[in-house]
């Protein structure tokens, strides 16, 4: 399957303090005649996103090549790609698709990356259906757990009311609580005064 997406996080700095947008300006040409080779790197231990996939460019050096990070695949794309990549899928033909460099050095460049994968649309559709099925099963399990809890609570209430001394007073049942005694006393006074 062919993916094409914008690289996210170009506005940020790398851990070594280098600005990604400066790397893009220096090594990527919008005319397309001096693109460095892009490489995707899976970051399973990324604390912000467990599905993170970083985008690096490989720049030829005198003694050795340098790998410079220019950003990440967007979260939605990375989530899908990470699943299949972690399951043994292959990624190939990674290339820079488009580059836009703004006139202002303070504005963020726009970079698009394209790549091929060993999985296809049928695999993605199957994965989505599996996720929907799991979500339906989770909802059903939550519903059953809620019903079981309600039944347990009802049985507990029933058991408490059946215990000796567990019967609720008339006032508690009808919500008149302590006022029942006032009513009883007034009733007794009226009955006594009538006799």
Q: How confident is the model at residue 154, as a pLDDT?
A: 87
Q: What is the pTM of this model?
A: 0.68
Residue ranges of the chain whose pLDDT lies below 50: none
Q: Give me the pLDDT at residue 168, please.
A: 54
pLDDT at 173: 52
Q: In this predicted structure, what is the pLDDT of residue 174? A: 53
> How much is the pLDDT for 28?
87
The reported pLDDT for the residue numbered 12 is 94
What pLDDT score was predicted for residue 191? 82
Per-residue pLDDT at 187: 83
- Closest among 80, 83, 82, 28 to 54, alpha carbons compared: 82
Instruction: Look at residue 86 in the predicted model and tell me its pLDDT.
Output: 94
């Amino acid at each position: 399957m062919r993916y094409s997406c914008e690289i996210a996080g170009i506005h940020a700095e790398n851990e070594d303090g280098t600005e990604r947008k400066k790397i893009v300006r220096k090594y990527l040409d919008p005319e397309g005649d001096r693109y460095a080779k892009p490489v995707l790197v899976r970051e399973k231990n990324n604390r912000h996103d467990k599905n993170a996939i970083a985008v690096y460019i490989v720049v030829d050096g005198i003694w050795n090549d340098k790998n410079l990070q220019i950003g990440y695949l967007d979260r939605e794309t990375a989530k899908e790609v990470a699943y299949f990549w972690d399951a043994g899928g292959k990624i190939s033909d990674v290339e820079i698709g488009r580059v836009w460099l703004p006139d202002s050095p303070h504005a963020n460049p726009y970079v698009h990356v394209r790549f091929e994968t060993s999985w296809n649309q049928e695999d993605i559709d199957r994965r989505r259906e599996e996720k929907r099925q799991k979500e339906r099963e989770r909802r059903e399990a939550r519903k059953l757990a809620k019903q079981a809890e309600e039944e347990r609570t009802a049985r507990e209430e029933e058991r408490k009311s059946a215990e000796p001394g567990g019967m609720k007073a008339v006032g508690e049942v009808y919500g008149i609580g302590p006022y029942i005694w006032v009513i009883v006393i007034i009733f007794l006074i009226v009955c006594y005064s009538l006799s």
